Chain A
């Protein structure tokens, strides 16, 4: 069952080949036996999953439900889930049981009828590129358990890549859907900022965070993203516009599609093996009728420095609420209020979160605000303008997702800047707010390589169709890690 696509699973459920309960039990069994090697789940919700599966079976028996009804999913532990621990992979929220559901949880579980298998591991408060900052320990890459799965959605990708869930939710603040998808041979999409509600998604950097999905194909991702999308009056940054049909356009020819290759993304720093995979993908897309032209994103080298001002600044503000009083871990034996705040936060946050809070506090502090924060916001506009000009010439932009394949656990943990530079190709899309995705395009030394497609605002349907056409012509996305077949 775990090798079937979402479309195949939906057909099998409607044909009564197996029930949602049987499907859910199958995945729960795989989680029980295989996840100890990966650490992809923080919380497994077997009882709730089976109850939801029974409800889905009843809906299907009545001839009701939609294309996702009865298909289980994993939820990144950044999304609030009623009655289930929502930890954000932090000691700070280890005991937090949410009294409400995030909007996407409502949409996927209550409305679409997808049973939740559990809450997936991640970097603490989504801060990281390797899933090594979680309070619950690192997640391992199913392709090589001595390597990272990428981050921050490392639990989401490890679970889907290993066949412990057919699909999973994820979030992307600087590449946290695309980079881990690339490192585990999955298809992951970060939609346009404002496309998916952020209500109930624990905030890291509010002007950059966006929820999305990781799946085993563009077709699967399109189904789930469509169900997640839509205006939400509870999120003041949600866009009030109709949800495009992301599934029906799959299958359109890409003859004449104009693809831009940003010269800055193919410069020094890109591994030769990754480059070879991207070149082969370009050749494949040419065969499908796409035309290629070089474009320039001249300010892209500044995207990482811009991000590491904007994101920590917003994080330092968002995480101020975790003080031991309003939310989160509370230190014991304190003498006064100030000590309560300081010790609760010192004990509750891990090193990467502490670093980013301090950077954010510093760049927003008196005397440094103009030099750092205001300047970063101006450079952000330059980066946005680069994309605006590029999309006057091309329909989509193609490049690598990550500089190299998955790295060894622990190899970059003592050098934050080296870790940050890992996201050099993904961050700009968050700063500009445009949709972007990663999809499998080959292997280097037995490890997956991903290519990135970036689109204009609300151009998700076009991106997914290009990816789907590529996946109809290639089989990279069908490869599975040998230890988890």
Chain B
């Protein structure tokens, strides 16, 4: 599988990633090489083999539905880029 610069731009768009235009050609070559590497997987015989998502086959552990974390509002606000009157300030991004 070979990726063109246009396909790289499309994947970057899906990933919400602005690419430096000067790197797009290089990324196309490098990602094509990586996909050539992973294309080896297509030859593996996996009929009847179940996918393995977790090394220990664990299922999600549940905990009691009870409050376990204290209020850390002040600690979190202290590291925020901007706060005012107890509120987080975010940049205006709606035109």
Q: Which A residues form the contact surface with B (CB < 8 A)?
A: 95-100, 193-194, 207, 233, 236-237, 239-240, 299, 301-302, 304-306, 308-309, 316, 320, 323, 325, 330, 334-343, 345-347, 349, 351, 354-355, 357-363, 365, 371-372, 374-382, 384, 415-417, 420, 431-434, 457
CA distance A237 to B41 in the complex (A): 27
Q: Mark B15-29, 1 if CB is under 8 A from A, else 0.
A: 111111001000100
CA of A362 to CA of B27, assembled, Å: 13
Q: Is the CB of A336 within 8 A of B37?
A: no
List the A side residues contacting B78 at CB < 8 Å.
99
Closest residue to A345 on the B side, CB-wise?
A: B17
Complex alpha-carbon distance, A376 and B79, angstroms: 40
**B residues engaging A (CB < 8 A)?**
3, 8, 11-20, 23, 27, 30-31, 33-42, 44, 46, 49-56, 58, 60-61, 63, 72, 75-76, 78-79, 81, 90-91, 93-95
* Residue in A301, A337, A343 whose beta carbon sits within 8 Å of that of B94 in the complex: A337
Q: How far is the CB of B61 from chain A (nearest CB, A)?
A: 5
Majority secondary structure of chain B interface residues (helix, strand, loop or mixed): loop
Contact yes or no, B93 A337, CB < 8 A: yes
Give the distance in Å from the alpha carbon of A382 to the alpha carbon of B11 in the complex. Answer: 30
Establish whether residues B55 and A340, one from each chain, have CB atoms under 8 Å apart when the complex forms. no
CA distance A415 to B26 in the complex (A): 10
Contacts of B8 in A (CB 8 A): 358
State A286–B60 Cα separation when bound (angstroms).
Answer: 44
- Can you pick out 23 interface pairs between chain A and chain B where the beta carbons lie within 8 Å of each other? A194-B58, A237-B54, A237-B58, A304-B37, A305-B41, A308-B38, A316-B15, A325-B90, A345-B15, A349-B17, A355-B31, A355-B34, A361-B15, A362-B35, A372-B38, A375-B46, A376-B41, A378-B46, A379-B41, A381-B49, A382-B49, A416-B30, A416-B33
Q: Once the chains bind, are B75 and A99 in contact (CB under 8 Å)?
A: yes
A349 vs B12: C-alpha distance in the bound complex, in angstroms? Answer: 13
Alpha-carbon distance A194/B57, docked complex (angstroms) = 11
Are A302 and B44 closer than 8 Å at their CB atoms? yes
Known interface pairs A361-B11, A377-B52, A379-B46; A99-B93 also in contact (CB < 8 Å): no
C-alpha gap A324/B37 in the complex (Å): 33
Contact flag A375-B37 (CB < 8 Å), given A99-B76, A233-B63, A432-B55? no
